[in-house]
């Protein structure tokens, strides 16, 4: 039927052209953003899943920071322990030298001055082995704790090792000296015991450091996997989008031509009245 009031062909052509325009807008957005799901409007379910995963990724970033801080606390404690171990070796040498019965008083006094300086250095190291407010070697805390999960329900800990003078590890007293042959002889055994204890404490700190390091690596892998998962959900395949855009551009041009042809139909009615 030819009618000047209703042009069915034009309406159909316009519907298909509108569909093409909508598809082109979606494809253009994917090209512009690099994402096939850039907002909830694109795909609500997929966007929600991606947002949840992004939340976990942000959580793992906080976990990583926490573990790194914990590792730094342990590293400082280990550095202090290694220095103390080195000092104890020197002190053992001084004590052994001072225990020599053939040593004169002046020489023993000089050795004792070196010995007490090394002793005080241990106290200084213990006091200054602080990172982020934590000191694992002065007895001020029992452990350091770090996050191990994004919900905060799981944590990893490293135990403190009190290396203060007159403690259970460094048993040498704060006033220890080798001013006499007798005190020097006793001090050799005391220092050796302290050295053994410090080396054992270092081994425990090293084990805790490895535990933190393993957890850090695992956290990094989880974060990377989630990041890849988000990409799989929302990232656009640019090769596919490019091909689709070209196809839609051709379809758009054909749609415009089809609409133009359909709009010419009422003109044919004029020929009936000539």
Least reliable range by pLDDT among 127-141, 176-190, 230-244: 230-244
Contacts of 268 by beta carbon, 8 Å cutoff, 6+ apart: 2
b/e code 173-183 from CB counts within 10 Å (16+ = b): eeebbbbeeeb
Contacts of 244 by beta carbon, 8 Å cutoff, 6+ apart: 23, 27
Statement to judge: residues 17 and 63 lie in one domain: no
Q: CA-CA distance, 180 to 241, in Å (whole number)?
A: 88
Q: Please report whether residue 225 resides in a domain.
A: yes
Q: Residue 274 above 70 pLDDT?
A: no
- If you average pLDDT over residues 15-22, what whole number do you get? 84
Give the model's pLDDT for residue 267. Answer: 76
**Radius of gyration of the chain from Cα atoms?**
39
pTM: 0.77
Q: By residue range, what is the domain housing residue 216?
A: 44-233
Statement to judge: residues 249 and 163 lie in one domain: no
The model's confidence at residue 93, banded by pLDDT at 50, 70 and 90, is very high
CB 169, CB 194: distance < 8 Å: yes
Statement to judge: residues 55 and 117 lie in one domain: yes
Statement to judge: residues 125 and 257 lie in one domain: no
Structure-block tokens of residue 210: 């490895």
Q: Please report whether residue 266 resides in a domain.
A: yes
Statement to judge: residues 61 and 189 lie in one domain: yes
Q: Residue 189 above 90 pLDDT?
A: yes
């Amino acid at each position: 039927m030819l009618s000047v009031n209703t042009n069915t062909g034009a309406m159909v052509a316009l519907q298909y052209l509108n569909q093409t325009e909508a598809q082109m807008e979606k494809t253009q957005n994917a090209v512009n953003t690099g994402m096939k799901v850039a907002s909830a409007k694109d795909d609500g379910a997929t966007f929600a899943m991606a947002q949840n995963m992004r939340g976990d990724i942000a959580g793992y970033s906080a976990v990583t920071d926490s573990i790194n801080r914990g590792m730094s606390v342990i590293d400082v404690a280990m550095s202090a322990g290694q220095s103390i171990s080195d000092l104890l070796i020197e002190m053992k040498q001084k004590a052994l030298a001072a225990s020599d019965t053939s040593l004169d008083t002046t020489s023993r006094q000089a050795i004792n001055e070196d010995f007490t300086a090394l002793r005080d250095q241990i106290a200084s190291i213990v006091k200054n082995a602080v990172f982020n407010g934590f000191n694992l070697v002065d007895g001020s805390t029992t452990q350091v704790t770090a996050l191990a999960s994004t919900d905060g329900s799981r944590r990893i800990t490293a135990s403190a090792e009190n290396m203060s003078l007159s403690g259970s590890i460094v048993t040498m007293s704060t006033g220890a000296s080798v001013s006499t042959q007798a005190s020097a002889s006793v001090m050799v055994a005391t220092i050796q015991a302290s050295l053994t204890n410090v080396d054992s404490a270092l081994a425990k700190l090293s084990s805790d450091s490895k535990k933190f390091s393993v957890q850090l690596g695992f956290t990094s892998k989880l974060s990377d996997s989630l990041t890849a998962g988000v990409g799989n959900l929302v990232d656009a395949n640019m090769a596919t989008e490019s091909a689709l855009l070209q196809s839609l551009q051709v379809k758009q041009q054909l749609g415009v031509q089809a609409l133009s042809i359909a709009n010419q139909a009422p003109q044919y009615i004029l020929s009936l009245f000539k």
